Every structure is written in C-alpha cells, then in structure tokens.
C-alpha cells in the first residue's frame, strides 16, 4: 500500500488539504481524531467558515426586499451562490434551484407540493429498499393522504437493486419513481440515467436522492435527465441549515407553492395571493442567507482542490483499500457491492459485538464511525441485520487511518471474545 | 452615465409622466408588477401593420419605474415591433442616462418587461431577469 | 435630548455594546453605516459568530444518532440551546420548542400539521389586518384546502386592532385565532394575554406571531397562555436559517408530523412508520445544528447586556424621540399608534416621494431603512397607503442616528421638491 | 465508578443474560425501543400483592442496554413495587458500576424506563429523559 499510498495522497494533495480543516487537528480521548463519519456530515474548511463570517461582519442584511447597500450586497451574494449550485450540477438555469434546509426538506417539498396536487387513488409511487428514511417516510405520508400506493424495488443480497423486478413494478400506474443515487448504507451507486429513462418510458417522473451522490461524485442533471434532485450542503463541506432541490423549470412553474409567507408572493389580498417567480415561489420567509453563501463557498472549495471527478476517484481507491484491510478482522461481515460499484463508505457487522459497542470502543481510539440503522431500516431488515457500523470516507481521509480502524476493531474483538 | 440617480430629467418624467392614461380600444393591454417592491405598470398599445401606432401607460411606483415608463413611451410611438423586439437593458439605461444598481434595475426594466410580455408573451422576457448562468 | 441621551445610552452601555458588532463600524458610500432595518433582520455580535465558528472548528458532527465524541458534544450543545430558548420565553419544558428555519416555517408547521388535521368546512380561522404575510398566506392556503373560512379583525385608522369588532368575529366557529404580538409595520403591541383569553373562551386555539415581539420585549408564554408562538433567531442577534415554534406539549403530542424523514421517526417499516418523542417528531433530517447553537449564544448575549426588559425600555425611549424628531420633516406622515403602544419601529410616507426613492437617498447617506409594504399588504391597503419607509431600531442604535435620519429625509425633500 | 465501559461483568451479563425469556401468563408485558439506536426491551412481570413475583425480559441491542436489563432483572425479583417506584438513574448506574456518558445513558436506562412504563404507564418516566429545564 505505502507506495501507492503516497501517489494517491499526492494526487489530491491530501496532506495540504487537511490543514484547511481545523477540526482534523483535534484530539479526542487524548488521541488524534480519525473522522470516518462523513456520510452523516462532512467537516468544513476554513474557506466556508470564513465566507459566512465575512457575511455576518460586513453585509449582514435581509435579502430581496431591501434598497440599501447591505441588502443589495447580501442579495447579490445569496443569488450568486444559487448560480454556483446550478452550475455545479449542470442545471439549465439558476431558476431550477430551490434553497431548502436539507435533502429531507427537498423531498418533502416535492411530496407535498407535487404529490398532493398530482397523486390520486390507484396511482403508485415507486421507491427502493435501499432508501434513506428521508426518501421513504414522506412518500408513506403522502400516499396515505392521497390514496396512492407505495411500492418498493427490492434489493439483492449483494446490495444491488433487483433490476429484474423493476420492469414489473414500473407501470403506467407509476407516477413517481424516487431513488437514491448512492446508498448511505450499502454504498451502492445504481445506474441513475437508465432508471430515469425507464421511469420516463412509463410516464412517471424521476426524483433522485442525491444526498450522498452530489457530495461524492460528479453529478449532471441534464445527463441524468432527472426531474428532481435533492441534496444537502452539510455533507459536502457546506454549513448545516441549507440544502437544495433541483427541479426542471416547467415542473416548478406548474407546481403549487409549499411553504408560504413573505418573499414567495407577488401580491396578497385578504382572500387570496399570487406567487412570485420561480424559484422564489418556493422560498418563504427569511432564508438561510449566510448558509447559502457558505454553500457557494463549499462548491468553490471542492472545485479548487480538484473537483468531483478527482474526489470520487480518490474515495474509490480508499474504499478498495479499506475493504481489503477489513478482511483481516475476524468475524467481520461487510455488506454491499464491491468497491467499483460503490461510494466511499462501508457498513459492517462484527460477530458477537453490537455495533454500538464497537463504535464506543473505536471512539476510545479517536475513531468516529456511525452505528445503527443509519436511517435506513428497510435495507437492514432486508439483509437480516439489526444494525451495522459504518465507516465513511471523504477526500481528507488518509490511507493510514484505515490501519488504525483495523487495529481498533481487533481490540474490540479482544475485549468481547477474551475478556 | 451619471452616478446620482436623481437627475432633474428623471424627476421631471416622474412628476409629469408622458403618455400617461388610457387609449380608446387598445389592441393590447398588459399589466405587470414588481413583486418585491410593488411597482405597477399597465401598458396599452394600438398596433397596425406590426407598428405601434399609439402607446400609453398607467401605473404607480418609484421614480425610476415611472420615469422609465414615461421615457419609453415617448420612444416607442410609431416604432415597428420588429425593432423593439431587440430592445433590452441597454436601450432603457440609455434613455434613463444614469447608473443603476442591481436592485433598482428591476424598477427600471419593469416597463420594457411589461411591453415585451404584452406583445410577445410572458416567456419572452430575456432582459435582466434572464437565465444568465 | 442630549442630557437624556447620555443617561439613556449609559443605561444599556450602548457605546460599548456597539463594539460587539463588527458591521456597525462599516462604511457605505464612504460614510458610516446607520443601520435602521432591524425589523427585517438584526446584526450579529461576535459572541454569536464565534459560537458557531467554535462548533465548526471543534465539534462539527451530526446530532442524535452518533456514539462518538464529536456527535455527543454536538448533540449536547444543540439540545442545551433548546433549553435556553425554552427558558427565554418561559416554556414549561424544552420539549415545547421545535427548531424551524424561521417564524414563517413555524406558522406553516401549525397550518399544515394542526390545520389539515383539525379544520373542516364551516370552521373559521381568525387573523388580523395587521398581520405579516407569514401569518396570512399559510392560513389562506390551508383554508382553501380544508374548506374553512378565513376572517380578519380590522384595524382602526390609528393602527390599533378594532377590539369592538372582535366579539362578533370570535365565535364558536373559530378554531384558531392567529395574531401578531407586535406589528412590523405599525409597531402596534396588542393586548396579547386578553386576546388569548378571548380565543380560549370560545374554544379556539391562539397562535402568536412573535417574530417582532420575542426580539424586542420580554415574552412569557405561560403568562400569555398562548398555544403556539412563532419566532426567528435572525431578528434577535442570532444567525439566519433558524427559528422556533413554541407549542403546548399536549398539542404537540396530538398533532401529526409535518416534515418527515430521519430523526423524527421511532421505527420505519415498509408500509408505515412510528414517531419519535416530541419535539423530535417535528424535526426531520439533519437540523441547523450550528445555527441552533448560535441561537443559544444570541440569547445568552441578550441577557448579558441587560435583558429584554431593559432593551424594550431603551427602544421605547428611542422611538419616542424619533417620532418627535420626524415631525420636523415637511410632508412626512407617520402611521401607527403613539410611542407608548408600540415597539421600536416607525413607518412613514413622504409627500410626493415614493418610499423607494426616499430609501435610495437615505442609502447615499449611509442610512439603511426598508421601503415597500414590508410583507404586510393588507395593512397598507387598509390605511390607503401603497408603501412606506420603515426605520426600525435596536438596542445598539444611538439617539444621534435619529438626527441623521431627519437630515437625510430633508435632503430627499429638497431633491424632489426643488430639483 | 470505572471509566472503561467494557468491564468483564457487563460483557458477562451481555453474553449470558439472566432471566432472559418468557413467563407463563405474565400480568404485564411491555415493550419499548430506543429510537435513535434501535435497542429493544420487552419486560414480562408476574405481580401479586404489589410485589414482583417473577420477572423476565427479551430484547436485543448493545451490551449496555442488555446488561442493564439482565442486572435489573436479578435485582427486582421479589421486590415490592413501592420500592421500585423510587428507582432512577442512580440505582441503574450502581448496578452497572461504570461511568456512562449522555449518549449511552439512554441505553442503560431503557430497561428501567420500560419497566416503569409497563407498571405505571408511559408518562411515569422521570428518569434521564425528564423535562429537566
Ligand atoms: C410580524 C412578523 N411576522 C413574521 C415575520 C417573518 O419572519 P421570518 O422571515 O424570519 O420567517 C416577520 C419578519 O419579517 C415579521 O415581522
Ligand atoms: C441517501 C441519503 N438521503 C437523504 C439523507 C438526508 O439528508 P439530510 O439529513 O441532510 O436531510 C441522507 C443523509 O443522512 C442520505 O444519506
């Protein structure tokens, strides 16, 4: 590994990149932090923190409605960030980007606005067994409210979508096919473009949950041709409190508003109101202004360090190395597909050790992983596993952190099996 | 261009708008507002052989939006539509003759936006609001 | 004024307080900024900015689901902020505080969750003519969806609620009475406690829009006995991207969820899900973690500098002085009640000068005010005014800033009337 | 108290839980889960004259939640309910004998929470989750 390691690390300049992240020099329990919980949320570089500080210290003001200088500057920066996001995923227009709190709210927006207006008894919404709760529960609730039926594409024991079953499930009854572009448990990257095509072939819309994909690989909504894409800033070096929904402009024009209040209206009379242009029609009240600016700074940062293609390649090498190394740990079972079909995360179970206990022991060694069902109970149920530990990498993780992970897991084995 | 918005000619057009009022039997009447600030413009046109024979407006709002409408009205009387089709930001700013920041730009362009939407439909606006990426 | 001025300013130590706000030493158009747009959003002290920086630099992590140290610390700080908010408005329990993006989302949450479940044809929702669009449009949309009727308490020409009409409007048909505790246009502070009592007397619930009140005066939800209270952090020295909904616990237990996804569930099966305890039941997906911590820091700051009682008193003196001084401006018409019945803001119109033009001229002198209908079209319609300029004060504004405002308005008069 | 969670007795109770399984005709069966991590406990009780005559549990989850259940089971056999009513955090931490941070606290207290909810109703829990302001 060591030779390849240095090549790999040089490629992205990881040693230098790490200096941009103050938290990465922190110690926990007296040892250096090894942060492997990136699928839950990523760390933030100084460039992002400082962009928000600058906003608060120089031009903090409300947007859109102000004539004074601060408000003009704040509005310009807030809207410039939207354009960065649009370009980042190759949207046709900045009007196709709606700011939300997170990927979860983005999906809820579609479920409430599009779903309540367009779903009827007999209609079907198709999701998959590898979805995050964010792409399950909103559809359960909207199906219940509208009388539509929720169906699932099953997953195979290897952690792939069972594409043989797809044709039977995707019918003219299907009005929406909503699926993740990268599973946050299995790591699986499904064939998004093909799935969108299949949805469109039966007249369904396609919503892609990009919470993991947009943070970890190049995404091009025009190439995918998806109708909606949901993602969060906090998983891609951006701040908490902001996410985005991409939607094709025509759909946004047709959809009724979701949240309502100031800024999303054109005019308000006592008995009714008319709506502002898209995307503003979907953004009610004072938005997360500093956070939007931080989101834009995060995108600048990702591009500056090498771009999503390089980041994705780096993570795929890291995950291949990790999966090889983890085979050394006795009684460790990994779930999901081989490295070439997955993103930079790996979920595993240890014989006789509950994932929480393993995570707690790793924490004593400074290693942060997540334990549980990772907000994806159905995929765990399907694989017959109650919970797992998940190690998830980002471009600032070093190959030697894998070795530390392996050693700490071996310590856990010793504690439980030779107490 | 002048740095100071409030030139005498702008205030003059604002206080004494030209072609303000209604036409008899207009061929086109179109109304638009600026949702962020409430400026309103209604444009009325009589069109013959693809030429604007007569134009007038009503509305209320800030001096920029109303002076822009008044100046534009003077300019478009008798103009062929084909010529107006190409109009954008520059033509309006030339008329106003002052530098305009991003916020007031919407005020300045509202009359042209209303005119173009009235003649060629609302999706035909490609001025300041356009999808410049 | 000058003698009283120094007493007043000393009371809160305003000169010193101003140093906590970096933006207040900024220049615009070459002159010092005079920020009088506080009703739109307040400025942020360094203490708030730094609390968020510290989070990002030391313990950034996702909350609730993590076993590792960073997640444990982040969760503790995120929940500690909730307790600060609960105590700040004297809620009975931290469980009564739901984090939202802003006051607007708080009201939408009630409209969707409580409203869709409880409103039926024939039911009435009562609001007032002095509401912000955030407390109008959600009720319009929910009324349309449920068949309920929306009614308005009129306002008098002096800018008070027309309480004589209230008894006729508040009937057993009324299921919800939603009103602001401080108008953002008129400044009016209605008798909240009495209005809540009247709502309860007919069996209606009472929602208080506290977007202005919570930022500018002491608020005690137990004394008011309101059922819901909506407010935003960004108007009270906190960050953008976070607000809160207070609701009585019993109501929260009964209400169905609104947004759904991770963190708000107890268990998810393929066909249904069960809910987490309140308030988590209403918080879906990764929350605005840094922002919640910033919100907590803002509350600490407000208390440190003297508390809401002192802030309110200071603003009332400022506004009394401002209203006296503005009488010097020819052709200026103020709307709303006298100083003793209002918060620290004043909306006015100038003869022959559109509010946008006035605001643009003030901006050239470094003065930031808001121009327009301030997201309250119905109250403007009622008073027969198209738009106004609004100067809104906070505890860091100085009495001499009033003099600058007056002088700049006189300059606007000269430009328009003697060009 | 010991700083290190994973003492031999905890692992022993986890690997060999006492009173694990079902009772015949229990008077009370109550189930609860820890929504954040998925620990589950079902408690079964036979009660006579306000005394626990027999108690057992089933469940799955981390060593802390299961060892806590197993240790609590040993302790409550034959105990009057009146005595258990006063139990809280301290009693459980004494049984476990290790220091427990805020996150794992929920695991440690889940068995007691389940027991108290089963006997006196869900609103009767005033342990770690209580509304301490
Ligand atoms: C009275 C009132 N209600 C509601 C709001 C909406 O607040 P936000 O934009 O933070 O949601 C505001 C602020 O503009 C307000 O002044
Ligand atoms: C695949 C997937 N979808 C959705 C989400 C929800 O993201 P957020 O919590 O930012 O809304 C996540 C993150 O946890 C995820 O991994």
Are C287 and C374 in a shared domain? no
Q: Considering A281, A304, A327, which residue would you say is the last residue of a domain?
A: A304
The predicted-structure confidence for A278-303, as pLDDT tens digits, reads as follows: 999 999 999 999 999 999 999 999 99
> D132 lies in a domain?
no
Please give the distance, rounded to the nearest whole angstrom, from the Cα atom of residue C86 to the centre of ligand 2: 28
Name the E strands within C271-314: 273-275
Six token digits for residue A223: 């190439």
Chain C residues whose beta carbon lies within 8 Å of the beta carbon of residue D33: 266-267
Q: Give D34's pLDDT tier (boundaries 50, 70, 90).
A: confident
Please give the distance, rounded to the nearest whole angstrom, from the Cα atom of residue C134 to the centre of ligand 1: 6
Buried b (16+ CB within 10 A) or exposed e, B23-33: beebeeebebb
Nearest atom in ligand 1 to C104's CA = 11
Are C211 and C64 in a shared domain? yes
Q: Which ligand is nearest to the CA of C241?
A: 1
pLDDT at C2: 57
Query: Which partners does chain D have (≥3 C-beta pairs < 8 Å)?
Result: A, C
Number of domains composing chain A: 2
SS3 A24: helix
Number of domains composing chain D: 1
End-to-end CA distance of chain A: 33
To the nearest whole Å, the CA of D78 is away from the closest chain C CA by 33
Residues near C292 by beta carbon (within 8 Å), at least 6 away in sequence:
C78, C81, C82, C99, C242
C103 lines ligand 1 (CB under 6 A): yes
Distance of CA C374 to the CA centre of its chain: 13
Tell me whether C286 touches chain D (CB under 8 Å).
no
Quote the CA–CA distance of A417 and B5 in Å, as a whole number. 80
Please give the distance, rounded to the nearest whole angstrom, from the Cα atom of residue C142 to the centre of ligand 1: 19
Quote the CA–CA distance of B4 and B100 in Å, as a whole number. 9
The predicted-structure confidence for A310-352, as pLDDT tens digits, reads as follows: 999 999 999 999 999 999 999 999 999 999 999 999 999 999 9
The predicted-structure confidence for C296-346, as pLDDT tens digits, reads as follows: 999 999 999 999 999 999 999 999 999 999 999 999 999 999 999 999 999
Asked whether the predicted pLDDT for residue C65 surpasses 90, the reply is: no
The residues of B whose Cβ lies within 8 A of any Cβ of A are 33, 35-37, 101-104, 129, 131, 133
By the 10 Å C-beta count (0-12 exposed, 13-18 middle, 19+ buried), D2 is classed as exposed
Average pLDDT over residues C171-180: 98
End-to-end CA distance of chain D: 27
Question: What percent of chain B has pLDDT above 70?
Answer: 89
Cis? peptide before C279, omega within 30° of 0: yes
Quote the CA–CA distance of C232 and C106 in Å, as a whole number. 9
Neighbours of A88 (CB within 10 A): 24
Question: Average pLDDT of chain A?
Answer: 95
Quote the CA–CA distance of A55 and A291 in Å, as a whole number. 10
C132 lines ligand 1 (CB under 6 A): yes
C413 lines ligand 1 (CB under 6 A): no
Are A248 and A121 in a shared domain? yes
Are C114 and C171 in a shared domain? yes
Q: Give D125's pLDDT tier (boundaries 50, 70, 90).
A: low
Quote the CA–CA distance of C74 and C61 in Å, as a whole number. 6
Are A80 and A184 in a shared domain? yes
Quote the CA–CA distance of C260 and B63 in Å, as a whole number. 47
CA angle, corner A58, sides to A57 and A63, nearest 5? 105
Q: Which ligand is nearest to the CA of C130?
A: 1
Q: What is the DSSP string of A62-120?
A: --SS--SHHHHHHHHHHHHHHHHHHHHTT-S-GGGEEEESSHHHHHHHIIIIIIHHH--
**Residue among D8, D15, D62 whose CB faces A356 most closely:** D62
pLDDT at A136: 97
Domain range for D14: 3-126
Strand partners, D13: none
Asked whether the predicted pLDDT for residue B2 surpasses 80, the reply is: no
Question: What percent of chain A has pLDDT above 70?
Answer: 98
Range of weakest confidence among A349-358, B121-130, C32-41, D2-11: B121-130
Are A120 and A78 in a shared domain? yes
Phi-psi region of A90 (alpha: psi -120 to 50; beta: other; left: phi over 0): left
The predicted-structure confidence for C128-161, as pLDDT tens digits, reads as follows: 999 999 999 999 999 999 999 999 999 999 999 9
> D44 lies in a domain?
yes
Q: What is the CATH number of the domain that holds B92?
A: 3.90.1010.10
Average pLDDT over residues A109-134: 98
Are A97 and A209 in a shared domain? yes
**Residue among D37, D101, D131 whose CB faces C72 most closely:** D101
C43 lines ligand 1 (CB under 6 A): no
Strand partners, A150: A125
Please give the distance, rounded to the nearest whole angstrom, from the Cα atom of residue A209 to the centre of ligand 2: 8
Q: Which residue of A has its CA nearest to B102?
A: A72
Quote the CA–CA distance of C241 and C146 in Å, as a whole number. 30
**Residue among A372, A386, A419 whose CB faces D11 most closely:** A419
Query: Active-site residue among A141, A368, A375, A385?
Result: A375
Distance of CA C6 to the CA centre of its chain: 29
A38 lines ligand 2 (CB under 6 A): no
Domain range for A94: 49-304
Quote the CA–CA distance of C29 and C153 in Å, as a whole number. 43
Sign of CA dihedral D7, D8, D10, D11: positive
By the 10 Å C-beta count (0-12 exposed, 13-18 middle, 19+ buried), C201 is classed as exposed
Mutation target to probe the C interface, by most C beta carbons within 10 A, among A101, A243, A365 is A101
Asked whether the predicted pLDDT for residue B123 surpasses 80, the reply is: no
Strand partners, C27: C32
pLDDT at D131: 45
Please give the distance, rounded to the nearest whole angstrom, from the Cα atom of residue A212 to the centre of ligand 2: 7
Mutation target to probe the A interface, by most A beta carbons within 10 A, among B36, B38, B60, B106 is B36
Bridge-based pairing of strands C174-180 and C124-128 is parallel
Average pLDDT over residues C365-388: 88
Ligand 2 atom 16: residue of nearest CA = A184
Quote the CA–CA distance of D34 and D99 in Å, as a whole number. 20
Quote the CA–CA distance of B27 and B118 in Å, as a whole number. 10
Please give the distance, rounded to the nearest whole angstrom, from the Cα atom of residue A42 to the centre of ligand 2: 12
Asked if residues C45 and C395 have their Cβ atoms less than 8 Å apart, the reply is no
pLDDT at C70: 96
Backbone angles phi, psi at A161, to 5 degrees: -65, 140
Q: Give B112's pLDDT tier (boundaries 50, 70, 90).
A: very high
Strand partners, A161: A155
Are C89 and C236 in a shared domain? yes
Quote the CA–CA distance of D130 and D133 in Å, as a whole number. 9
Query: Which partners does chain A have (≥3 C-beta pairs < 8 Å)?
Result: B, C, D
Please give the distance, rounded to the nearest whole angstrom, from the Cα atom of residue C56 to the centre of ligand 1: 28
Element (H, E) at D33: strand D28-33
C232 lines ligand 1 (CB under 6 A): yes
Q: What is the DSSP string of B8-42?
A: HHHHHHHHS-TTBS--SS-SEEEEEE-TTT--EEE
**Residue among B37, B104, B133 whose CB faces A87 most closely:** B133
Sign of CA dihedral C305, C310, C315, C317: negative
Question: What percent of chain A has pLDDT above 90?
Answer: 89
Q: Which ligand is nearest to the CA of C240?
A: 1
Q: What is the CATH number of the domain that holds C32?
A: 3.90.1150.10
pLDDT at A201: 98
Asked if residues C287 and C263 have their Cβ atoms less than 8 Å apart, the reply is yes
pLDDT at B128: 52
Q: Considering C247, C269, C304, which residue would you say is the last residue of a domain?
A: C304
Are A277 and A210 in a shared domain? yes
Are C253 and C379 in a shared domain? no
Q: Are C83 and D133 within 8 A, CB to CB?
A: yes
* DSSP secondary structure letter of residue D102: H
Q: Give A2's pLDDT tier (boundaries 50, 70, 90).
A: low
C307 lines ligand 2 (CB under 6 A): no
Element (H, E) at A15: helix A14-18
The structure's pTM equals 0.95
Residues near B57 by beta carbon (within 8 Å), at least 6 away in sequence:
B17, B19, B20, B41, B42, B43, B44, B69, B70, B73, B111
Q: Which ligand is nearest to the CA of A262?
A: 1
Q: Give A3's pLDDT tier (boundaries 50, 70, 90).
A: low
Residues near A394 by beta carbon (within 8 Å), at least 6 away in sequence:
A38, A42, A43, A216, A311, A315, A344
pLDDT at B1: 46
pLDDT at C6: 67
Q: Considering C263, C286, C304, which residue would you say is the last residue of a domain?
A: C304
Q: Give D133's pLDDT tier (boundaries 50, 70, 90).
A: very low
Asked whether the predicted pLDDT for residue D108 surpasses 50, the reply is: yes
A with B: 3 or more CB pairs under 8 Å? yes
Asked whether the predicted pLDDT for residue B132 surpasses 70, the reply is: no
Range of weakest confidence among A281-285, B3-7, C282-286: B3-7
Q: What is the CATH number of the domain that holds A216?
A: 3.40.640.10
The predicted-structure confidence for C86-116, as pLDDT tens digits, reads as follows: 999 999 999 999 999 999 999 999 999 999 9
The predicted-structure confidence for A158-180, as pLDDT tens digits, reads as follows: 999 999 999 999 999 999 999 99
R_g over Cα of chain D? 14
Asked whether the predicted pLDDT for residue C50 surpasses 70, the reply is: yes
Quote the CA–CA distance of C393 and D47 in Å, as a whole number. 66
Backbone angles phi, psi at A279, to 5 degrees: -85, -5
Query: Active-site residue among C47, C116, C141, C375?
Result: C375
Quote the CA–CA distance of B96 and B90 in Å, as a whole number. 10
* DSSP secondary structure letter of residue C332: E
Residues counted in chain B: 133
Quote the CA–CA distance of A333 and A349 in Å, as a whole number. 5
Are A329 and A399 in a shared domain? yes
Residues near C365 by beta carbon (within 8 Å), at least 6 away in sequence:
C29, C31, C34, C404, C407, C408, C411
Quote the CA–CA distance of C371 and B66 in Å, as a whole number. 17
To the nearest whole Å, the CA of D5 is away from the closest chain C CA by 13
> D14 lies in a domain?
yes
Are A285 and A332 in a shared domain? no
Asked if residues C328 and C311 have their Cβ atoms less than 8 Å apart, the reply is no
Quote the CA–CA distance of C234 and A100 in Å, as a whole number. 17
Question: Average pLDDT of chain C?
Answer: 95
Mutate-to-test residue for ligand 2 from A37, A212, A228, A336, highest number of ligand atoms within 8 A of CB: A212
The predicted-structure confidence for C109-128, as pLDDT tens digits, reads as follows: 999 999 999 999 999 999 99
Mutation target to probe the B interface, by most B beta carbons within 10 A, among C354, C368, C386 is C354
Quote the CA–CA distance of C416 and B11 in Å, as a whole number. 7
Asked whether the predicted pLDDT for residue C78 surpasses 60, the reply is: yes
Q: Are A259 and C65 within 8 A, CB to CB?
A: no
pLDDT at C419: 61
């Amino acid at each position: 590994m060591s030779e390849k390691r240095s090549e790999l690390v040089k490629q992205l300049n990881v040693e230098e990149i790490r200096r941009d992240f103050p938290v990465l020099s922190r110690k926990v329990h007296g040892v250096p932090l090894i942060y492997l919980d990136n699928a839950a949320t990523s760390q933030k570089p100084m460039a992002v923190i400082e962009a928000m500080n600058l906003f608060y210290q120089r031009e903090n003001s409300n947007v859109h409605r102000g004539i004074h200088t601060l408000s003009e500057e704040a509005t310009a920066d807030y809207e410039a960030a939207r354009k960065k996001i649009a370009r980042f995923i190759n949207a046709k227009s900045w009007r196709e980007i709606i700011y939300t709190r997170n990927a979860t709210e983005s999906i809820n927006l579609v479920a409430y606005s599009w779903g309540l207006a367009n779903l009827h008894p007999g209609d079907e919404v198709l999701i998959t067994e590898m979805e995050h709760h964010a792409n399950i529960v909103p559809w359960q609730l909207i199906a219940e409210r509208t009388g539509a039926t929720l169906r699932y594409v099953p997953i195979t024991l290897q952690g792939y979508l069972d594409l043989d079953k797809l044709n039977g499930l995707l019918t003219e009854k299907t009005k929406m096919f909503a699926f993740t572009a990268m599973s946050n448990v299995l790591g699986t990257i499904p064939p998004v473009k093909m799935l969108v095509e299949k949805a469109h072939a039966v007249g369904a819309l396609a919503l892609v949950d990009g919470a993991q994909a947009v943070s970890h690989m190049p995404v091009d909504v025009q190439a995918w041709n998806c109708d909606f894409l949901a993602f969060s800033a906090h998983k891609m070096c951006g701040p908490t409190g902001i996410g985005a929904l991409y939607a094709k402009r025509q759909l946004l024009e047709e959809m009724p508003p979701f949240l309502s209040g100031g800024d999303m209206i054109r005019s308000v009379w006592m008995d009714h109101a008319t709506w502002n242009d898209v995307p503003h029609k979907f953004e009610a009240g004072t938005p997360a202004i500093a956070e939007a600016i931080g989101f834009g700074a995060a995108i600048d940062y990702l591009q500056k360090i090498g771009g999503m293609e390089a980041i994705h390649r780096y993570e795929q090498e890291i995950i291949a190395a990790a999966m090889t190394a983890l085979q050394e740990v006795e009684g460790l079972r990994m779930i999901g597909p081989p490295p070439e079909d997955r993103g930079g995360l790996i979920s595993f179970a240890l014989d006789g050790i509950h994932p929480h206990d393993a995570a707690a022991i790793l924490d004593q060694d400074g290693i942060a992983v997540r334990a549980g069902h990772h907000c994806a109970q159905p995929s765990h149920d399907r694989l017959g596993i109650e919970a797992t530990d998940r190690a998830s990498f980002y471009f600032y993780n070093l190959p030697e952190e894998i070795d530390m992970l392996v050693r700490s897991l071996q310590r856990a084995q010793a504690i439980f099996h030779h107490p | 261009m002048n740095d100071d918005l409030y030139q005498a000619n702008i205030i003059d057009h604002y206080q004494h708008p030209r072609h303000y009022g209604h036409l008899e039997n207009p061929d086109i009447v179109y109304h638009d507002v600026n949702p962020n600030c409430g400026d309103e413009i209604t444009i009325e046109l009589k069109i013959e052989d693809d030429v604007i024979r007569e134009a007038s407006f009503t509305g209320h709002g800030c001096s920029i939006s109303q002076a822009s409408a008044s100046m534009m009205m003077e300019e478009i009387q008798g103009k062929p539509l084909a010529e107006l089709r190409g109009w954008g930001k520059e033509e309006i700013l030339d008329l106003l003759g002052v530098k305009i920041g991003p916020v007031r730009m919407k005020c300045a362009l509202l009359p042209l936006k209303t005119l173009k939407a009235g003649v060629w439909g609302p999706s035909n606006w490609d001025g300041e609001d356009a999808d410049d990426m």
